[in-house]
A and B are shown apart, each in its own frame.
Chain A
């Protein structure tokens, strides 16, 4: 069945059964690596992506729910050459060990900071509660999210001309 999905600002028509979770369409049909299979049950968060700005578990989100909605994956936050604030923050804080859980963490944090870039430590912890990390990178992830918030705020502040041209 052909379904049209809007991912990272681009429209894609994919041939897939409608009950297919978004995760597999992102990975197999669109060739995006960011969302990871972790549990398939919505328990670990490694598949987290944004749908209309809200974090969702893409492993339990069938694509039949998603027509006409805007999907954002970690690929939508920037590139290796031009990383977005969230990505920059994770690189600067070296907030990864194996890194498998990290894109999911970043997406959930992105949703929080888009609502509230000045989110404090308690809010960040609460927001990241659904996402698991096994390497024990938690302290760095928290730092990176705080840093991302600062980067976003300074980018949004008047006089911060960087990137404003686009």
Chain B
């Protein structure tokens, strides 16, 4: 009897709990709206800038697809999620979404019908976006070309395919919030934090995630793996040989390259391409905030940076070079890595030709100085594919050229010659996984020359 009573009591608790949870998780549908009228052009213009900061086009456009029509496969540890159609098409896009519905999706991660959205859509950041900015974004999206397109269904195993579970995730990891200015910081820093933590969602790539896919708050901006790339730490542990500052960061974010840091590539390439079309003051604000997060490098790092600068200007650099691609005669070497570097890499990387078209002196390379070799492996194998018709750096990939051993030897040589960091321990494993395709790598054209990216930036590796 007691057991039965206990069982019934537990059942009751469970049922009540479930009902409570469902009630917690339940969101009402917001009524569809009629076709919007003529929006205010100034609002649309502002929305365009905000959309660029939010990088909306990059996830919501499939390679070769129409802008904002979605369908991009986003591989997650839990399965593949396909980005949604956010064009104003009424049947397949968000054409029936009122501004309120749009605001709710950004703030709460819930679609117009009331379904919870998977956190691949970074509402954990977008929740900070003000209603005013959301209205501008909405106005902008509503003036895009409507595209009738239904993205493929998500590929998630049971029970993850049940969106109610997202409510549970939110309970654990998500807080709806407003951006609270810090009165102890100046306006640029506060503006920068609002953009970087909110719409810019820098942490979505640069902050490591826990096993349930939530950003680890205690490791904010500490560097993470994304799309087969290492998103560098942009906190005090930044591996950049020359420490970033507000100027260099603002410059890099707007132009897609910096003479002392190199060229944006991988998933960062479209970010900087988007920022190229954004009000420079906003980009500078982001740089201000991120540089502050990185902190003051201190005398030791600065002294080290000076050494790196000297080393970089010492190798084959010429004040006046007749042949712009001149390199000094290569030294013979028994070391395979050194020989490969001298004969295949140095022609561009020691040419003295300035960035962005010349190769970066690898003393300056964060990839070579980073915590793992993934990025330099990727760049070596896949290069920088040419942009469509825009002046942008091109680097040939060496995927067909280098054997696994040669690539390992080259990576070790680069680390040994251009960095004072300890040798990498995972070169062989990462090279093998990357060459075999076990580690998929997203390739983007390097379009970093101050203009909006074309939809085709995500591309296939060549050759």
What distance in Å separates the Cβ of B66 from its nearest Cβ neighbour in chain A?
15
Tell me whether A36 is interfacial, beta carbon within 8 Å: no
Cα separation A33 to B356 with both chains bound (whole Å): 33
Tell me whether A19 is interfacial, beta carbon within 8 Å: yes
Task: Say yes or no: A18-B463 contact (C-beta < 8 A), given A42-B396, A54-B399.
Answer: no
Tell me whether B395 is interfacial, beta carbon within 8 Å: yes
What distance in Å separates the Cβ of B396 from its nearest Cβ neighbour in chain A?
3
Tell me whether A14 is interfacial, beta carbon within 8 Å: no
Tell me whether B424 is interfacial, beta carbon within 8 Å: no
CB within 8 Å of B: which of A21-74? Answer: 21, 40-43, 45, 48, 51-52, 54-57, 60-62, 64-65, 69
Select from chain B the residue with minimum beta-carbon distance to A20: B343
Cα separation A147 to B334 with both chains bound (whole Å): 47
| Complex contacts, B347 vs chain A, CB 8 Å | 40-41, 60
B386 and A43 within 8 A (CB): yes
Task: List the one stretch of B44-52, B371-379, B400-408 in contact with chain A.
Answer: B400-408
User: What class of interface size applies to chain A in its complex with B?
Assistant: 20 to 34
CB within 8 Å of A: which of B330-363? Answer: 330, 332, 336, 339-340, 342-344, 347-348
| Complex contacts, A65 vs chain B, CB 8 Å | 340, 344, 401-403, 406
Select from chain B the residue with minimum beta-carbon distance to A55: B463
Task: Say yes or no: A51-B462 contact (C-beta < 8 A), given A60-B396, A62-B343.
Answer: no
Total B residues in contact with A, Cβ cutoff 8 Å? 29
Cα separation A93 to B384 with both chains bound (whole Å): 32
Complex partner residue of A43 from B332, B339, B394, B402, CB under 8 angstroms: B394
| Complex contacts, B200 vs chain A, CB 8 Å | none
B64 and A122 within 8 A (CB): yes
What distance in Å separates the Cβ of A131 from its nearest Cβ neighbour in chain B?
9
Cα separation A72 to B398 with both chains bound (whole Å): 17
Task: Say yes or no: A42-B330 contact (C-beta < 8 A), given A51-B401, A62-B343, A108-B463.
Answer: no
Tell me whether B35 is interfacial, beta carbon within 8 Å: no
Complex partner residue of B343 from A45, A64, A69, CB under 8 angstroms: A64
CB within 8 Å of A: which of B404-463? Answer: 406, 459-460, 462-463
Complex partner residue of B339 from A19, A52, A57, CB under 8 angstroms: A19
Cα separation A21 to B401 with both chains bound (whole Å): 12
B400 and A54 within 8 A (CB): yes
Cα separation A56 to B400 with both chains bound (whole Å): 6
Which B residues have a C-beta under 8 Å from some C-beta of A? Answer: 64, 325, 330, 332, 336, 339-340, 342-344, 347-348, 383, 385-386, 394-396, 398-403, 406, 459-460, 462-463
16 A-B pairs besides A65-B402, A129-B459, A129-B462 with CB distance below 8 A are: A18-B332, A18-B343, A19-B343, A40-B325, A41-B394, A42-B394, A51-B401, A54-B399, A55-B400, A57-B401, A62-B344, A65-B340, A69-B403, A122-B64, A127-B462, A129-B385
